Amino acid sequence: MGEFLDYSYKGFNYKLYVPSDYQEETEFPLMVLLHGCHQNPDDFAAGTKMNQLAEQENFLVLYPNMKQLFNPLNLSDYNPFGCWNWFLDNNQHRDMGHPKFIYTLINEVTRNYRVDSNKVFAAGLSAGAALACILGVTYPDVFNGIGVCAGLPYGAANVSFLTDPMAKAASESMQQGVSDPFACGNSAFEEMGRFRKKMPVIVFHGICDTIVHPINAQQVIIQWIQTNFLINGGKGKADVTPMFVKSDFMNGKSYTQHVYSDGCDNPLLELWMIDQMGHTWSGGSPNGSYTDPLGPNATEIIWNFFKRSSQTPVERSGLLEHPGRIEQPAQPEQFEHPKLPAPSEQFEYPGQPAPSEQFVPLEQPEQSEQHAGPAKKNLFRTLLEKLFKKRR
């Protein structure tokens, strides 16, 4: 195996996997892998088995770590559960917050290693998946593909601690989805600005996910279809009918794969809905947390998707370029998205063991013995109360 190296930058820790065949005279692809809540780079690397794949396929893997000391002057960088604060406005724009931090880390890596700028990708789980989606919008000139596992669309929540200190809007989006994913697509188009580029995106989501409702998977796809549609010069709302649909059984679980075009009859987006799977990384290793060893191997499928999409560079709007088996086409009039549990305001958590991604103060579902350890106290609420009391 190669080296799994520890680094630190301005209070943030991160790790970098360098395959054993790395050579300074060769440019290597770079995967940015963003963990979910209650995880860290070592745990996430073990669960996804991404380092093993990077060793086989010869690419670098960057693991930013959200664990950060509390700073009352910069709340957007702090989360007591180690979640990326995807829902804060400060973390949804270029040259600000988390996106700027990730971009800075990429530059740090490129100073020490040779990176192929046409093969830089980002993928994540849950809060990390929501941030990966944001990175595709805020830095489309840097990223060449996005992987979203149990995440949310861009703009699913836009929270300020002054108006929504408990971030209820984020919890509502996680549990119910957004009211208009096409509006999210419009917002993403505007945020891209002069860096607009059609973005390859692949989405994985468990049908039984009780932490981030699976309707969010469809809405991530709709957001990106709409964004790419506008980049193509489209007006109004995009057609969200898939090019192809395939249902099959893999590694102990059934799944449905939807493939969507870029507006020019080329496959650009994929949606994988996994039956009988909760809030986990599909096909992962039990050596890491929040994985399901059954089902399609998300790690390999995401990487193969990125490899295919990078073989044909996607045209950018007004800028120079930055230095599975598919079966029958779906009939539009007969196509239906996979049936999902209906979101509601009284969304309840079934008794399955699943990590709680609720950064904010809604009561956490009790953890099962499978995920040992007492439920975390609402540290963030306490800190906020103290902070605001001092200010008053």
* E-only strand ranges, 71-153: 115-125, 146-149
328 pLDDT more than 80: no
275 pLDDT more than 60: yes
Predicted local distance difference test score (pLDDT) of residue 364: 29
Highest mean pLDDT among 67-76, 241-250, 342-351: 241-250
Predicted local distance difference test score (pLDDT) of residue 30: 98
Q: Contact, 157 vs 167, CB < 8 A?
A: yes
Of 279 and 339, the one with more pLDDT: 279
Backbone angles phi, psi at 82, to 5 degrees: 75, 20
The helix (run of H) or strand (run of E) holding residue 9 is strand 3-9
The answer to which of 2-11, 110-119, 136-145 has the lowest mean pLDDT is 2-11
Predicted local distance difference test score (pLDDT) of residue 312: 61
End-to-end CA distance of the chain: 55
Residue 152, CB half-sphere, CA atoms under 13 Å: how many?
Answer: 32
Predicted local distance difference test score (pLDDT) of residue 195: 97
Q: Tell me, what DSSP letter sits at residue 287?
A: T
Q: How confident is the model at residue 313 (pLDDT cuts 50, 70, 90)?
A: low
Of 264 and 368, the one with more pLDDT: 264
* Whole-number Å distance between alpha carbons of 184 and 213: 17
Average pLDDT, the chain: 83
Residue 241: how many CB atoms within 10 A of its CB?
16
| Structure confidence by residue, pLDDT tens digits, 38-69 | 999 999 999 999 999 999 999 999 999 997 77
* Amino acid in the structure at residue 32: V
352 pLDDT more than 70: no
260 pLDDT more than 90: yes
Q: Is 31 left (phi over 0), alpha (psi -120 to 50) or beta?
A: beta
Q: What is the pLDDT averaged over residues 345-357?
A: 31
Closest CA to 154 of 144, 141, 140, 165: 140
| Structure confidence by residue, pLDDT tens digits, 224-254 | 999 999 999 999 999 999 999 999 999 999 9
Closest CA to 126 of 182, 209, 52: 209
The helix (run of H) or strand (run of E) holding residue 98 is helix 97-112
Q: How confident is the model at residue 70 (pLDDT cuts 50, 70, 90)?
A: confident
Instruction: State which residues form the domain around 234.
Output: 3-391
Q: How confident is the model at residue 340 (pLDDT cuts 50, 70, 90)?
A: low
75 pLDDT more than 60: yes
pTM summary value: 0.81
State the DSSP string of 23-90.
Answer: -TTS-EEEEEEE--TT--HHHHHHHHTHHHHHHHHT-EEEEE-------TT-GGG--TT----TTBGG
Q: What is the pLDDT averaged over residues 105-133?
A: 97
In the chain, the number of structural domains is: 1
What percent of the chain lies above the pLDDT cut of 90?
69
Q: How confident is the model at residue 167 (pLDDT cuts 50, 70, 90)?
A: confident
367 pLDDT more than 70: no
Predicted local distance difference test score (pLDDT) of residue 131: 98
Q: How far is CA 10 from CA 79, 111, 207, 307, 370, in A?
A: 16, 16, 39, 32, 35
The helix (run of H) or strand (run of E) holding residue 176 is helix 168-176
Q: Tell me, what DSSP letter sits at residue 197?
A: B
Taking the mean position of all CA atoms in its chain, how far away is CA 219? Answer: 13
The CATH number that applies at residue 247 is 3.40.50.1820
